[in-house]
Structure 1
Amino acid sequence: MSDPGERVAPRRLLGLAVPALGVLAAEPLYVLVDTAVVGHLGAVPLAGLALGGTLFTLVSSQLTFLTYGTTARTSRLHGAGRRADAVAEGAQATWLGVGVGVVLLLLAQLLAVPVAEGLAGPGPVADAAATWLRIALLGAPLVLITMAGNGWMRGVQDTARPLRYVLAGNGVSAVLCPLFVYGLGWGLEGSAIANLAGQGIGAGLFLRALVVERVALRPDFATMRGQLGMGRDLVLRTLAFQVCFLSATSVAARTGAGPAAAHQVVWQLWTFLSLVLDSLAIAAQSLVGAALGAGSATRAKGIARQVTWYGLGFGVLLGVLFAALAGPLPTVFTGDETVLAEVPHAWWFFVALQPVAGVVFALDGVFLGAGDAAYLRTATLLSAAVGYLPMIWLSLGFGWGLAGIWTGLSMFMLLRLVTLLLRARSGRWAVVGTAPVGAE
C-alpha cells in the first residue's frame, strides 16, 4: 500500500471522477434538452416546466441522503475491507427509496394543483406546472431507487456501471421527448411521459445490479434507522437549498413569464455546471470515506486539499468558457425576444460564480464523504438565512428582478465558501473508523 500521507494519484482520482461526471451531468443535460424542446412551444409552457421541474427537484432532492448518506456509510465499510456489508447498506437504502417514493407519488396527485397555484398564483403557468408534475412524480420510486444505487456503487468505488445505467435511461428519454412533444402532439405532457420512461429503465438496471451481488435483500429496520439518523441532517441541509431555490423560481414566476423562462434557462445551466464541478467531489467522497474507514486521517486530508485545488481550476475554466458563450448559447433554448432580453440579468452572476462554486462543491464532497453532515447542515442553514432568502424576497418587494435574485445566490455561495474553508482548516471532520461523524 502507498504511504497514507501521500496524495491520491491523479489518474485514480480522475478514474472515479470522469464516470461520475457522466452520471452527474446526464440528468441536467437531459433537462437542458427538455428545456430546449419545450422552449419552442412558447413562454408559458417553458415557465410551467421551470416551476414544475423545480418542484420535482424539491421533492426528489430532499431524499439525496439515499445517495450521499449511503456513500458515506458504504465507503468506510469498503475501506475497512467489508464489501458485502457495504452493499447491504445499499439494499436497505433501496427499500427506503421504494417506501418513500410510493408516498410521494400519492401525495403528488392530491397536492400538485394547490402547490403550483400557491407559488405562481392561479393561471396558465400554474396549470401547466401541475399537469407536468403529476405525470413526472409517478416515477418518484424509480428516482429514489436510482439514488440509492448510485450511493452504494460510489461507496465501493464503482462509478462506471452507474454511468452506463443512467445514460441508458436518459438516452431513451432524450429520444422520446421531441417525439412525444411534437411528433405525437402531446406538448408539455409529452415531456413528462418521456422522463418517466427513462426513469423506469435506469431503476431496473440498478435493481438488477443489487440482486447479482448476492447479499441479504430482506428489509433490516435497524440499518434503515441508522441511515435515517444520518439522513436527518442531510435532509435539513437539502431543505435549506430547496427553500432558497424554490423561492427564487417563485419570485421569478410572479415577476412575469419572461423572467421566469429566462431564470429557467440560466438556472438549468447553473445546475449542469454545478454537477460538472461536483464530479471530483464524488470521487473525493468515496476516497475520503475509504481512507477514514482504513484509519488514515492524513490521507483523507491530502485528498481534501487536492480536490479543492482541482475544483478551483475547473471553475475558472468554466467561467471563461461561458463568458465567451454569452451571446449564442441562450438562443439555443428559446427564440422568444422577451426571454432573451432578460437572460443577461442573470448570466454574468452565473459566470462569475464558477470559481467559487468549484471550491464549495469540492469541499462539500469531502465533508459528505466523511459523513460530517451536522456541520454541513448548520453552515447551509446559516448561509441561506443570512445571504440568500432576504435578498430573494427583497427582490420581489422592490422589483429588482433577476439581478436581485442572483445577487442573493452570490451571497449564499460566498458565505458557504467561508464556512467550509474554516471547517477544512480545523481538521475536525477527519474522524477515522467505520462509522461516519455523528452517526448514531
Structure 2
Amino acid sequence: MTDARDREIVRLAVPAFLALVAEPLFLLADAAIVGHLGVAQLAGLGIAAVVLQTAVGLCVFLAYGTTASVARHLGAGDLRGAIAQGVDGIWLAVAIGSVVTVLGVVLAGPLTHLFGASPEVTDPATTYLRIAFLGTVPLLVMLAATGVLRGLQDTRTPLAVAVGGNVVNVGLNLVLVYPVGLGIAGSALGSVLAQLVSAAVFVLVVVRAARRHGAPLRPDVPGVRAAGRAGVPLVVRTLTLRAGLLVTTYAVTLAATGPRQQAVDLATHQLAMSLWTFLAFVLDAIAIAAQAITGRSLGAGDVAGTRELTARMIRWGVVSGVVTGALLAVTSPVLGGLFTDDAAVQDLLVPVLLVAALAQPVAGVVFVLDGVLIGAGDGRYLAKAGVVTLVAYVPVVLACAARSAGLVAIWVAFCAVFMGARLLVLLHRERGDAWLVTGVVTAAPRVTP
C-alpha cells in the first residue's frame, strides 16, 4: 500500500512539474524573440507581462478550486457530478475572462503608464497588452480545464497541451514578429492564437468526457455562482502571497544606501527570487498531487486515509526541500556567473542563495500543506492565515529596510518570518480536525435536462 501511494504521488507530481516548468521556459523564448527587436520592446514586454500575469494569477483559483471540487465528486463515486462541477468551473472562467478582457483592452494604456516608463517603452507595452488581453478567456478556460483534469487524477493531458501549445506559441512568434513584420504586436497575436488552440483542445477533452458520462454541458447558474463564491477566499490567499513578495522587493529598494548599491541589491534579489520560483515548481508539483488526492480521499469519506496520505506527502515535501536546498547550496558559487558579469552581484548572490537553500525544507512542507488544505476546500482558513502571515511579516521586513540591514538580512526575514509564519499556521490547521470535511458539498443540485 505504501509503495502504491508513493507511485500515485509520483504519477501525478512529475507531469505536473513538467507542465509548470514548460510555461516559464517558453516565456523566456518569447522574450528572446522580442529582445532582438530592441531594448524598448523588451522592456515593454516586461511591463505588459507583469500586468497580464497579475490579472491571470489572481484567477488561479479556477484551477485550484475546480481540482478540489471535482476530486471530491470523484472520490464519492459520482463521476458524472465531477465532470458537471468542472463544466461549471469552465463557464465561470468564460464569464470572468469576458469581463477582464473588456477592462484590459480599455485600460491597457493607463495600466502601462502606471509604471512611469518613457513613451519609447510604454507604447510597445500598450500595444502588446491590448492584444494580449484578447487571450484572457482562453487562458482562464485553460486554468479551469486543467483543474478538471487534475481533479480526475489526470496530470498528463495538461502536460501535453502545455508543451504543444507553447511550441505553437514560439513558432507563431517567430513567423509573425519577423517574416510577417508585425513586431511586438506579432508576439502578442501569436500568443493569443496559441492560447485559443490550447483552450480548444482542453474543451474538446472535457466535452468528450461529459458526453461519455452523460454530464450536462450547459451552464448551471447556481453551480457557477457557487464556484465563484468558493473562489473568493483563494483570491484573498493569492493576494496575500503576492503582497508578501511585493513588500519584500519594496524593502530591498528602501534598504539600499546609494544608487549603485540599489542596482546591485535589486539585480541580486531578482536573480535569487527567479531561482526560488523555479525551485518552487518542484515543490508545487507535490502540492498539486496533494490537492487531487486529498479531495478524492475526503470525497470518499476516508479520514484515516487522508491523514496517512497527508503525513506521507509532508515527508515528500521535506525530502524534496532537502534535495533542492542541497543543490542550491552546492551550485550557489557558480550560478551568478550564468546570469551576469557583474562581480558585485555574483558575490552578493552566494550568501542570499545559501539562506534560500536553508529554507527549502520549510518551503517543501508549506507548499504541500497548502495543497492539502486547498484540496480539502479549506479556502477560508487559508485566506485568514495569509492575512495573519502578512501582518506578522510586513513590520519585520520594513524594519530591516529602515535600518539598511542589507539584502541578506531581508532574505533571512523572508525565509524565517514569512515562510516560518506560513509553516506555523498551516501545521496548526493540519493538526486539528476542522478541515477534514468528508463527502460532497454542493450549493444546489443540478437539474438533469
Measured against the shorter chain, the TM-score band is 0.7 to 0.9
SS of residue paired to 2:217: coil
The Cα of 1:100 is off from its aligned counterpart by 1.1
Q: Partners in 2 of 1:409 and 1:180 — Cα distance?
A: 42
Larger Rg computed on CA atoms: 2
Alignment partner, residue 165 of structure 1? 161
Superposed CA deviations along residues 41-76 of structure 1, whole A, max 9, x for unmatched, are: 887766655544333222112112211111111111
Equivalent residues of 2:68, 2:291 under 8 A apart: yes
* Match runs of 1:20-419 below 5 Å: 20-34=16-30, 49-118=45-114, 120-123=115-118, 129-176=125-172, 191-213=187-209, 214=211, 215-248=215-248, 262-333=268-339, 343-344=349-350, 346-387=352-393, 389-390=394-395, 402-403=407-408, 406-410=411-415, 411-419=417-425
Superposed CA deviations along residues 367-388 of structure 1, whole A, max 9, x for unmatched, are: 111111111111111112221x
CA pair 225-176 structure 1, distance change in 2 beyond 3 A? same
CA pair 351-230 structure 1, distance change in 2 beyond 3 A? same
Q: One-letter code of the match for 1:199?
A: Q
CA pair 143-358 structure 1, distance change in 2 beyond 3 A? same
CA pair 109-172 structure 1, distance change in 2 beyond 3 A? same
Q: Partners in 2 of 1:68 and 1:330 — Cα distance?
A: 34
Identity, in percent, stands at 38
Q: One-letter code of the match for 1:316?
A: V
CA pair 189-161 structure 1, distance change in 2 beyond 3 A? same
Q: Partners in 2 of 1:53 and 1:252 — Cα distance?
A: 22
Equivalent residues of 2:336, 2:345 under 8 A apart: no
Number of residue pairs aligned between Structure 1 and Structure 2: 431
Which 10-residue stretch deviates more, 279-288 or 304-313? 279-288
| TM-score, structure 1 as length reference | 0.85
Q: Partners in 2 of 1:280 and 1:353 — Cα distance?
A: 17
Q: Partners in 2 of 1:244 and 1:79 — Cα distance?
A: 35
Q: Which consecutive residues of structure 1, in runs of 5 or more, have no partner in the other structure?
A: none
Q: One-letter code of the match for 1:121?
A: G
Q: Partners in 2 of 1:131 and 1:263 — Cα distance?
A: 29
What is the aligned-residue RMSD (CA, Å)? 3.4
Q: Which consecutive residues of structure 2, in runs of 5 or more, have no partner in the other structure?
A: 444-449
Which 10-residue stretch deviates more, 50-59 or 126-135? 126-135
Q: Partners in 1 of 2:407 and 2:176 — Cα distance?
A: 32
Superposed CA deviations along residues 69-124 of structure 1, whole A, max 9, x for unmatched, are: 11111111001111111111111111111121122122223334433443x43436
Which 10-residue stretch deviates more, 302-311 or 323-332? 323-332
The Cα of 1:353 is off from its aligned counterpart by 2.6
| TM-score, structure 2 as length reference | 0.83
Equivalent residues of 1:31, 1:268 under 8 A apart: no
SS of residue paired to 2:308: helix
Q: One-letter code of the match for 1:409?
A: F
Equivalent residues of 1:259, 1:339 under 8 A apart: yes
Q: One-letter code of the match for 1:235?
A: V
